[in-house]
Structure 1
Amino acid sequence: MPRSTTAHIDLDALRTNYRKACERAGNARVMAVVKADGYGHGIARIASALADIAPKYAVACIEEAFAIRAAGHPQPVVLLQGVHAADDLADCVKNQFEPVLHGGHQLQWLGQGNHLPDFWLKVNTGMNRLGFRSDDLPSVMARLEKMNAFPWLQGFVSHFACADDAGSTMTSAQTATFEAATSPWPSLMKSVGNSAAHFIPGQPLFDWSRPGIMLYGGSPIVGKTGPELGLEPVMTLEAPLITTRTVRAGESVGYGAAWVAERDTRMGMVAIGYGDGYPRHAGTDTPAAIGGRRIRLIGRVSMDMLAVDLSNAPEAREGDMVELWGRTVGVDEVASCAGTISYELLTGITSRVPRICG
């Protein structure tokens, strides 16, 4: 029989988090960001769980949008990276995809088409990844007017670089740039609000917000965990204890002998490793849990296994399930120990780990 290493997906928690985003969005409507396979949770099941409450989805690329259509959902889908080839625009028209256009080459493709999709323009307000500079926007709009493309232009999009940092002034500066750049076209819609922006007091979210990580229970704010922000974990990652033993004082565990017992210590091996997407850099003292009791990792994470100190769970036995993250141990805690963010952990769980709803 297969091992019982599993990612449990709580779709009720997902819906609760989406409603929390709606509450925080005020008058803005909320498009659900389900890119990267629904942040590792499974794009089809995530889209299905939100289908009756989310009026619009957002993804990175067109193949993710097709996955939503394959799951049977008709809502408009915003393509945050736009399109990667001219022919993609015809697919956008046919399937009600809304590309975010960010470069002159995409405008050229738009002008070559006989039929246009609904589309957005990306405004570069300081992130400096994608988008038209604010001072170039008048010429871009003039070009679109000459193409008679205005009826399909939905509005403007930008993205914040430092909204996760409460001490940064960059978000307010980007907002001011965005408002000034788009003010000549007040009838067009605006969207800037990533997850972090929902937690900035007084931050305008305009017409559409775009929550991502907060839908899955991860924190978008530096120094805060998802539960501290009122978010519920959607993924609980579990794996079984496959052996237990007592390591004597002075003995080591695992590769590189990275952990040496200071005293006789009962430990266990857990059937999960970096081959499953658990972070290799999560070392000694990274929290886990068993039977609701917090325990800790010891030594190095290997490809298929990791070791835990069972001193705080003396009744633990082979076959018991270890929570790597979930309701007892937050994914943000594990991410901090691994020197990364919850986004990477959730999207990094490999296909070797089955996702089970319930």
Structure 2
Amino acid sequence: VKADAYGLGAARIARRLVQGGASMLTVYSPAQAEALEGMPCPVLILQPVSRIERGSAIHSMLVSGRLHLVVHDIHHVAELIVLAHEHGVRLPIHLEVDTGLARGGCTPDDAARILQAVAANPSLTLAGVMTHFSHAKTSADRCAAQMRTFDLFVDAHRALIPPECVLHAASTYASLRGSTVHAGMVRVGIAWTGYAADGPDDGESIPGYNDFRAAIRWTSSLIHVRRIARGNSVGYGWSWTARRDSTIGLVPVGYADGYPTLCADAPQLLREQAEPSRWVRISVGDWSAEAPVIGAVNMDQICVDLTGLEQMLSSQPNGGLGAEVELYGTDRTAHNYLPTIARRLGMRSYELLCRLNPRIPRVAVEAAAPLGRVDQGAFRLAVRAAPDVP
């Protein structure tokens, strides 16, 4: 549940995950861990941490034994020993072995020395040994190679690894590649949003991807509808010009809310193609239809092409004003399905979720039965942006 559970509210999401059987929650920083103070399960902080202030929100988690920290190198071990002494605790730590990501953690040789140091110091307890895959979504072969390195390390140092120590390596996409990388625990992230269904990038067919059901929608509403003549251009830079007399609508959402612009590093083909890269779904009663986003994305608003939807809009007393506009949807076949938008922009689904502005209300709109398996259903979260919401 890093980054406030991808910007969706860590405390809210964590409660449902724990109800569903999650045995541990993972965040990146101490600040992110503060939101999980009331959770009954351990919380693992991935970032190197060497100090914790007394009286802080996570201090109570530390003294209760619910706070677990990751050790990244031999110097960090010494800092964690000092931290444990300062607070009078036996500190649960997880050793991160770098098997190919070359980010956090340490080499297998350094990790062996850390195991010896931890075993020699009663202030630390080895709660976990972990690694992280560099190509979980893009290469089954590279995942397997890293797992072999990890398994060899663990097998070579069994004498220094307590039986209760949890081994963990796989995040969402690696978890779905099979049990050979599951070890003792898996760390699922994007899976709980239901947006892991876009599948792997290496073309491998993996059972289970189609069992995911997206749990998050972002909705707003139409606040203005107008007609423009053929040949008129819309928005800054006139990036869209009407090829016919057209109806356009205004939606009060923009890049300040986290709605994606066409980034400069998006594929050149996407910037040149005629088909719009972003779509929304307009809904009135039981009727709905897709509409392309046109012109530049503005700070607080976007324009959509409603041409062809006039009859539906005119059937409403207010001409369609207030109609629901679904910005990110859950229908895999739709243009506004979040992974589809992300893929067209050269991004990932969780990048777009993390960009959602905190000012947008997050509303839990459905509470299903307790989670037990991925395919048994989940809660649904609506992110709403409307002009009448403060």
Once the 2 structures are TM-superposed, how far is the Cα of residue 234 of structure 1 from its aligned partner?
Answer: 2.0
Q: Which residue type is aligned with residue 262 of structure 1?
A: R
**Is residue 37 of structure 1 aligned with residue 4 of structure 2?**
yes
Once the 2 structures are TM-superposed, how far is the Cα of residue 334 of structure 1 from its aligned partner?
Answer: 1.6
Partner of 2:40: 74
- Matched residues in 2 for 1:352 and 1:266: separation? 30
* Aligned residues of 2:73 and 2:110 also touching (Cα < 8 A): no
1:93-108 counterparts in 2 under 5 A? 93-95=62-64, 96-108=66-78
- Matched residues in 1 for 2:304 and 2:209: separation? 26
Partner of 2:231: 250
Partner of 1:136: 110
- Matched residues in 2 for 1:175 and 1:294: separation? 44
Once the 2 structures are TM-superposed, how far is the Cα of residue 236 of structure 1 from its aligned partner?
Answer: 1.0
Are the structure 2 counterparts of residues 42 and 90 from structure 1 closer, same or farther at C-alpha, using a change threshold of 3 Å? Answer: closer
* Aligned residues of 1:93 and 1:116 also touching (Cα < 8 A): no
Q: TM-score, with normalisation over the residues of structure 1?
A: 0.82
Higher relative contact order (CA 8 A, sep 6+): 1
1:90-239 counterparts in 2 under 5 A? 93-95=62-64, 96-112=66-82, 113-114=84-85, 115-148=89-122, 152-165=125-138, 167=139, 169-183=141-155, 184-185=157-158, 187=163, 188-201=165-178, 203-219=180-196, 221-223=199-201, 229-239=210-220
Once the 2 structures are TM-superposed, how far is the Cα of residue 179 of structure 1 from its aligned partner?
Answer: 0.7
Partner of 1:343: 350
Partner of 2:291: 295
Equivalent of residue 17 in structure 2, options 40, 50, 65:
50
**Is residue 305 of structure 1 aligned with residue 308 of structure 2?**
no
* Aligned residues of 2:70 and 2:95 also touching (Cα < 8 A): yes
Identify unmatched segments of 5+ residues in structure 2.
264-270, 314-319, 366-390
Once the 2 structures are TM-superposed, how far is the Cα of residue 336 of structure 1 from its aligned partner?
Answer: 1.9
- Percent identity over the alignment is 29
Q: TM-score, with normalisation over the residues of structure 2?
A: 0.76
Once the 2 structures are TM-superposed, how far is the Cα of residue 162 of structure 1 from its aligned partner?
Answer: 0.6
**Cα RMSD, aligned residues only:** 2.3
Once the 2 structures are TM-superposed, how far is the Cα of residue 189 of structure 1 from its aligned partner?
Answer: 2.2
Are the structure 2 counterparts of residues 312 and 148 from structure 1 closer, same or farther at C-alpha, using a change threshold of 3 Å? Answer: farther
1:230-260 Cα distance to aligned partner (Å, 9 max, x none): 2222221111111112222211111110011
State which drifts further: 75-84 or 246-255.
75-84
1:124-183 Cα distance to aligned partner (Å, 9 max, x none): 011000011012222221222222456x10121111111111x45211111111111111
* Aligned residues of 1:259 and 1:299 also touching (Cα < 8 A): yes
Equivalent of residue 281 in structure 1, options 262, 276, 279:
262
Partner of 1:319: 322
Once the 2 structures are TM-superposed, how far is the Cα of residue 344 of structure 1 from its aligned partner?
Answer: 1.0
Identify unmatched segments of 5+ residues in structure 1.
1-33
- Matched residues in 2 for 1:145 and 1:198: separation? 30
Larger radius of gyration: 2
